[in-house]
Amino acid sequence: MAKRISLHEFQAGLARRLAEARDTRAAAFLGIQAGKRHWLVDLTEAGEILAVPALAPVPLTEHWFRGLASVRGNLFGVVDFAAFHGDQPIAAVGHARLLLVGVKHDLNCALLVTRALGLRSIEDFEPQPSPPDSERPWIGDQLRDARGTSWTRLKVADLLNHPRFLDAAQS
């Protein structure tokens, strides 16, 4: 026989479970690799991850602006996140993925990354002291995992609003 509970108990339990789920999601990150760097993107900032579709090149743009991708009929500007940081360009094959980062900010922008590394919890990392980078304000806290791998928190809003990122026109 099923246990009967009052509506008040049910609502209180549901509110508690929702609050716990919200707390878990706030501490969750998506791990990505772009070139040799490992990044953590807050799940509230991360968008959809998908296989790399065909990219239409755009002439007279910086080498790190890889072109346009059509995602369900919407065009997204694609930035090679490794090349943007001065590393080797990412081959858009194999484990490479597009991370749609601008949707929350009403920007159709995607980052081309080497691979998605799955969900991570902030508790799995130890902070590493590092001075702020005034030239690249999107670079957040430096962290190290149990294996000794260095990770960088990506401040998506700061990246999307930075003049260098917004100006993909070739100089």
Does the pLDDT value for residue 143 go beyond 70? yes
Which of 58, 98, 60 is CA-nearest to residue 80? 98
- What pLDDT score does 25 carry? 45
Run of H or E residues at 78:
strand 74-80
5-30 pLDDT, tens per residue? 676 677 777 677 766 665 544 469 99
Whole-number Å distance between alpha carbons of 56 and 75: 10
- What pLDDT score does 5 carry? 66
pTM, entire model: 0.82
73-87 pLDDT, tens per residue? 999 999 999 999 999
SS (H, E, C) 88-117: CCCCCCCCCEEEECCHHHCCCEEEEECEEE
Whole-number Å distance between alpha carbons of 107 and 102: 5
- What pLDDT score does 131 carry? 84
Cα distances (angstroms) measured from residue 148 to each of 93, 139, 145:
28, 19, 5
Cα distances (angstroms) measured from residue 7 to each of 4, 11, 13, 16:
10, 6, 10, 14
**134 Cβ contact partners less than 8 Å away, ≥ 6 residues apart:** none
- Residue by residue, DSSP assigns 18-34 as HHHHHHHHHTEEEEEEE
- What pLDDT score does 107 carry? 92
Domains by residue range for the chain, with CATH: 29-166 (2.40.50.180)
Whole-number Å distance between alpha carbons of 20 and 37: 32
